Structure 1
Amino acid sequence: MRMLLTSLSVFVALAVPAKADRVVTETEGDKLISALTAQGCTGGKMEWDDDDREFEVGNASCNDGRSYDLKFNTDFTLKNKKLDD
Structure 2
Amino acid sequence: MQAKLRGRKMQLAFEETDEQLRSRAVDVRVSQLERAFQLAQSGRCTTVADIKRKLREEGYQDDQVEGPLLFGQLNSLMKKSASQSGTGSAQRA
| Same fold (TM > 0.5) | no
Higher helix residue share: 2
Q: Between Structure 1 and Structure 2, which shows a larger proportion of strand residues?
A: 1
* Structure showing greater relative contact order (alpha-carbon pairs closer than 8 Å, 6 or more residues apart): 2
